[in-house]
Structures are given as C-alpha cells and as structure tokens.
Structure 1
Amino acid sequence: MTTFEAAQLVAAREIRTKLRDKAFLLSTGIFLVIVLASLVLPALLNSGPAKVAVTDGASVAVLQEHGFEVRTVADTATAEQLVRDGEVDAAVLPGPVVVGDDESPGDVVQALSVEPQVRLLEPSDVDPFLKVIVPLAFAMLFFFTSFTFGMQIAQSVVEEKQTRIVEILVASIPVRALLAGKVFALTLLAFGQVALLALVAIVGMSATDTAPGLISAALPAIGWFVPFFVIGFVMLAALWAGVGALASRQEELTSTTVPVQMLVLIPFFAVLSVPHDGVAMKVLSYIPFSSPIAMPIRLFDGGAAIWEPVVALVLLAVTAVGLLGVGARVYSGSLLRTQVRTNFMTALRRS
C-alpha cells in the first residue's frame, strides 16, 4: 500500500466515523436551523405595513410613500376609536397631530417630519444592518469551524493514543499517511458543512426582499472566502493534530492546545474590534492567521484592490506549507509516547 492509498483509507475511516456521530449531525442541524431562522424569522415576524387612520387627505400621499397602509375616516372620534380598538397602529389628525395608544408611534412621526434631501454618490443595494451582519458571519464561520473541527482532530488523536490503537495503525501505515488522512477528512467535512450552511442561507435569503442586492454584493467576497477558508483551515489542522499528540490523555488537551487556541481566538477578536476601513484591518488582512477573516470582510465592504487578496492568499499558502511541516514533526515526534505528556520542543527534536 502506498502512502497516498493509506491516507485515502484513513480519510475514508474518519469521514464514516463522523457521519455516524450523532453529536456531529446534531450540531450541523442546529447550525442550519440557526442560519435559516436568522434570515426568515425577521420577515415572518413583520406582519406587513403599519396601519394608520387619517381624517384628511393631506398626509395620505406621504404616508403611502413610506409604506404605510392608510385608512381614511370621517372624523377625529372615529380615528381615535380605531386606535383604542387596535384596528390601526396610529391616527393622523389635522395639524398634523399624530395619535398613538400607549406609546409614541415614532415611525409615523418620522414619516411626517421634514428632512433635508439626501443624495448618495455611491448608493449601496445592501441594507446597513446586513453590512454589519455579513462580515460578522464571515468571522464567526471561520472561527467556529476551525475551532470546533480543530478540537475534534486533537481529541481524535489523543483518543487513539489512550486506547493504544495508534500503535497498530502506525505498524500498518506511515505516520505521515495517518496525519494526511485526518487533515484531509476533517477539511472536507468542514468545507462540506460550510457549503451546506451557505446553501441554506441563500435559500433563506431568496424568501426575503434582500436577496438580489445582498447576493450580488457578497458574491466576490464569498468567492475569495473559499480558498482562504480551505488553506487557513489546513494550516491550523496540522497544528491541532500536533498539539493533540502531545497529550497522553483527554484531560491534558486543555493545556496542550492553548497555543493553537490563541492562534484562532486572538485574530478573531482583533478583526472584530478594529474599524473595517482602518489601517489595522488592512494589516490584519495580510497576516496569515487573520487574513481568512479580514480579507473577505474588506472585499465585501469594497475596500480592497483586486491584487490584495492574491498577495494575502500567497502569504497564507506559504505559511500553511511551513506550519504543515511543523505540525507533522510534532505529531510524529509525540504520537507513540502514550504514557506521558510530551513537550513541544522535545517532540520537534524526536521527529
């Protein structure tokens, strides 16, 4: 059996094991429900345009222009009674005077207020709320996927050490084939989960009126997010396997995986805490550990030149190759030390 064939065998085993894992299937289902609910529920909870009773025709055109359902009535008493009965959300009397039930109808007041004319030089088709949510979704997607799947890689490695099954595996196939199979399988599963979430998100957006503008604006960022996600995940996956092999039992994973946890946590919070159009964000979009999050966000905001993601992706790929080597050395240098926890530098020297 060649190394490639052995890696394929390990990958197939890891994928079958995960697809039979109820916890993995349940977590995937929960993520799908959360994504779909976050897109569809706001539209479902919005029961339609607010209803306003009007006693004269002076305000009808303005209210209709702002999307209100206008009901013209004969007098003030009728309008106020409709508000009390809950048949309309507010009433507009001559003056104009806006009448509410137990709180001020701010949307009606705002519609009738005189505002200065606003002219945008570069109008956006994307809702301002979505400009906040979509970048956050990029960051959360890479963070949670790399963290949860990374911990699963580390747990799988230390479980094989605890049960001593790793000794049988290493006697049958090369260590590098075992590592390559694990990394490939978990990368494929992670990408499959992300693709499924993206598909559900697109289906959910198609049920709302935000879909056309949002999809067209997000498409370039999504296109670049895919290679950044895959290479970034592979870069971290080998490190997760390496630090997982340092532990001799599950209880030691908390301490052995801290360095890689920091490589995931710090870039995530750094990207979310700086302005999207600032110098710090531009720097973060070139740092390999934060570029899978920062660069797609800059592309979505339209703040990155066409050459910038190419440069950032090359830097990420070069770093990934280097860290794959480090992770492989740590993994091979500590995998068969099943009785005691292995020091990082000791594992590097032993490999």
Structure 2
Amino acid sequence: MSTLERGESAPSHGLSAPQGIWLVAEREIGSKLRSKAFVISTAILVLGALALVIWGGFQAANSSGTPVAVTSDASQYVANAEGLDVTDVADRAEAEALVESGEVDAAVVADSDSPTGFTILAESSAPSQLLLQLAQVPPVELLSPDDVNPALGYIAALGFGIVFLLAASMFGGTIAQSVVEEKQTRVVELLISAVPVRVLLAGKVVGNTILAMGQILLLAAVAIVGLTVTDQTALLQGLGGPIAWFAVFFLFGFILLAALFAAAASMVSRMEDVGSTTTPLTMLIMAPYFLVIFFNDNPLVLAIMSYVPFSAPVGMPMRIFLGQAQWWESLLSLVILMATCVAAILVGARIYQNSLLRMGGRVKLKEALAR
C-alpha cells in the first residue's frame, strides 16, 4: 500500500502541487509495474515487434533480385552489380514501357548528357538497392512523380495506427479502471485528504503518460535495433523524422485522452458502468486507425486528419513520411493539438472534481460540468 493510501502524507496545505502530482504519479507507476499482467503484455508486445521487424528485414534481404531493364548500350554500367534481375531491352522506349507496365522496378539507359553516362528511369521512386549497387549515383527520372509507393505507405500507416491504438486504449482503459476502483473501495477519500482533487487528476495523467511514452520509446528502440541488425539502415533513415514527430504528437494526444478518460470514469461508481461513459472516447481512438488504414493514399483525408486533434498523432506523421506536409504545417497542427489539450484538461478537471465523490448512479454530464 502506498504512502497516500495509508493516509501518511501531509495535508494538502503541506504539499506543493508538484509534490502532490509526483506522489500520485509514483503511485500509478508503481502499481502498474507491480502488475504481472502489465509486465507480461509489455514483454509480449516488445518481443512481437522485434520479431516482426527482424522477419521483415530478412525477408527483404532474402528476396529475389530487383527487376531492372537495361539497354544494350548501358549494360556495362551494371555488369558488376549484384542483386539485380536484369532484362535486356533494345532501346529507351522499350525500357519505359516495361517500367510503366510494372514488369520491372526501374530501367538503366545510356544518356550522353549525364555525367555518369547513364540514367535511371523509375515510376515513382528509384529502388534503393539499385542505387546502392551502382558505383556512381546517376540522375533519376520519375515517370509518375506525383505517385507514392503504396507498399511503404501502407506499412507506415499500419505501424503508426496500431501503436497509437494499442497504447492509447491500453492506458486509457487503465486510468478509467483505476478511477472507478478507487471510488468503489473508498480509497479516493483517503487520497483527497492528502492532495487536492485536481492534483490527483494531474498525477494520474502524468504517471500514465510516463508509462505510455516509455512503451513508445521502447518500441522505437526495438525498431532501430531490428532494422540495424537486418541492415535496413536506408529505411531507418527515412522513418527517423516521422517517428520523432509521432512521439511528440502522441505525447500531447495521450495527455488529452488521459484527462478525458479519467473524467469520464469519475461519472460512474461501478466497474460494470465504466463502458457507458468511455465508449465515445474509445471510438475516437479507433477512428484514426481505420481512417489511416483505408485512406493512407488519400491526401485530402490525411490532410484533414492532421489538423483534427484526436487523429493528428497519426495523420501528421503519415503526411511527413509521404512528403505531403510543408514544414509549417506540422507546427500549426501541434499548436492546435496543444490548445485542445489544455481545453480538455480544464473540462476534464471540472468533471472529475464534481463527480469523484458522488456515489450511486451515473452522474449526468450537465451536473458534472456545473460550477
């Protein structure tokens, strides 16, 4: 049992707000780390992510050579290259036709204007394996420069969507259960005798945010290790920026959701009723996942998602990964998210303060928001 639960803390006037917040946060973190279910689920998540990353890397390394069309006057430029499945073609026109039809990923053609003597033709992006195999990097001409790589886009969408969905729903549900459990057992009466209600809410949010961010950073480390072990450093470099932005957006997005989950749970007194108040929040968490999976190749939907606070942690990193966002757009989206986060904390604190000590039936939202 924690110091707060034993009632050994000084009264609220003897604790500063930061001290009270940290005491509650320590209690939340400690209880979670002592939970076998949490430790086991985290270990399974990390091991699963590591296995998936390593498997994907080895699959890419063991896959067949990159299909490339090569004109007869450019064959000497790829004579010593490894990992290529070469198709000989007569001229540039035939090479372009094979690239546009999808039979090859790229084509190498002679080009007297190029400083290297040849040029690579590709549909939307040149295969990195081909570029790495060549002694000199030639000019690259994209036949459809506005198109994006659907496979990479889908993988990135799946990754961002799943991580946001799992982390937000797991810790959001944990906060809600903790609040209701404290009301049922009357522990909350001991807690608020030591710290003010708003400090109690802030401590819960801070503690669970630390745990959630710890999982996010752990998964990022797993991705780095897995991609490094499988020698996929090129892909790692491309994902570095979007992953960093995802962590920043997730931080504020989770604080927003955590405050609302705690407030929603405080409106009920039984564990059986917690779903009635938290279901709308769960739907808000699930919506970005399904949207980014089904519309990861739709610039308009992604643009809207990147400015809606509840979906910005998924939408904006996706746009950054796809190269669709200007530098100022990520900053503007972050400002909107932070402003919404502050508003959610203020509203959540009012609901939490007005509902926490009310037992019995569900507290109506109008009553919870009353001054």
TM-score (structure 1 length as normaliser): 0.77
Give deviations 1:124-174, integer Å, cap 9, x for gaps.
649864442122111111111111100100000000000011111112210
CA distance in 1, matches of 2:108, 2:125: 18
Aligned to 2:337: 316
2:264 paired with 1:264: no
CA distance in 2, matches of 1:125, 1:200: 23
Q: Which moved more, 1:282-291 or 1:130-139?
A: 130-139
Give deviations 1:269-311, integer Å, cap 9, x for gaps.
2232224342121111111111110000010111111111000
CA distance in 1, matches of 2:61, 2:290: 37
Cα drift, residue 219 of structure 1: 1.4
CA distance in 2, matches of 1:42, 1:171: 53
Decide which of 123, 128, 132 is 2:126's aligned counterpart.
Answer: 123
Cα drift, residue 123 of structure 1: 3.0
Cα drift, residue 230 of structure 1: 0.4
Aligned to 1:340: 361
Amino acid aligned to 2:246: F
Amino acid aligned to 2:20: A
Amino acid aligned to 2:126: P
CA distance in 1, matches of 2:339, 2:61: 52
For the residue of structure 2 that corresponds to 1:340, the secondary structure is: coil
CA distance in 2, matches of 1:275, 1:128: 8
Q: How many residues align?
A: 298
C-alpha change, 1:258 and 1:175, in structure 2 (3 Å) is same
Contact conserved, 1:49 with 1:68, CA < 8 A, in 2? no
Decide which of 6, 17, 26 is 1:12's aligned counterpart.
Answer: 26
The structure with the largest alpha-carbon Rg is: 1
Cα drift, residue 226 of structure 1: 1.7
Aligned to 1:163: 185
For the residue of structure 2 that corresponds to 1:285, the secondary structure is: helix
**Sequence identity of aligned pairs in percent?**
41
C-alpha change, 1:263 and 1:36, in structure 2 (3 Å) is same
Aligned to 1:103: none
User: Structure 1: which 5+ residue stretches go unaligned?
Assistant: 51-60, 70-109
Give deviations 1:9-56, integer Å, cap 9, x for gaps.
111111111111111101110111111111112455789577xxxxxx
CA distance in 2, matches of 1:41, 1:278: 30
Contact conserved, 2:263 with 2:348, CA < 8 A, in 1? yes
For the residue of structure 1 that corresponds to 2:325, the secondary structure is: coil
2:304 paired with 1:283: yes
Cα drift, residue 182 of structure 1: 0.3
2:52 paired with 1:38: yes
Contact conserved, 1:164 with 1:338, CA < 8 A, in 2? no
Amino acid aligned to 1:17: S
For the residue of structure 1 that corresponds to 2:266, the secondary structure is: helix
Aligned to 2:201: 179
Contact conserved, 1:187 with 1:230, CA < 8 A, in 2? yes
Aligned to 1:235: 256
Q: Which moved more, 1:116-125 or 1:261-270?
A: 116-125
Cα drift, residue 253 of structure 1: 0.9
Contact conserved, 1:286 with 1:315, CA < 8 A, in 2? yes
C-alpha change, 1:262 and 1:46, in structure 2 (3 Å) is closer
TM-score (structure 2 length as normaliser): 0.73
Aligned to 1:83: none
Cα drift, residue 186 of structure 1: 0.2
2:273 paired with 1:252: yes
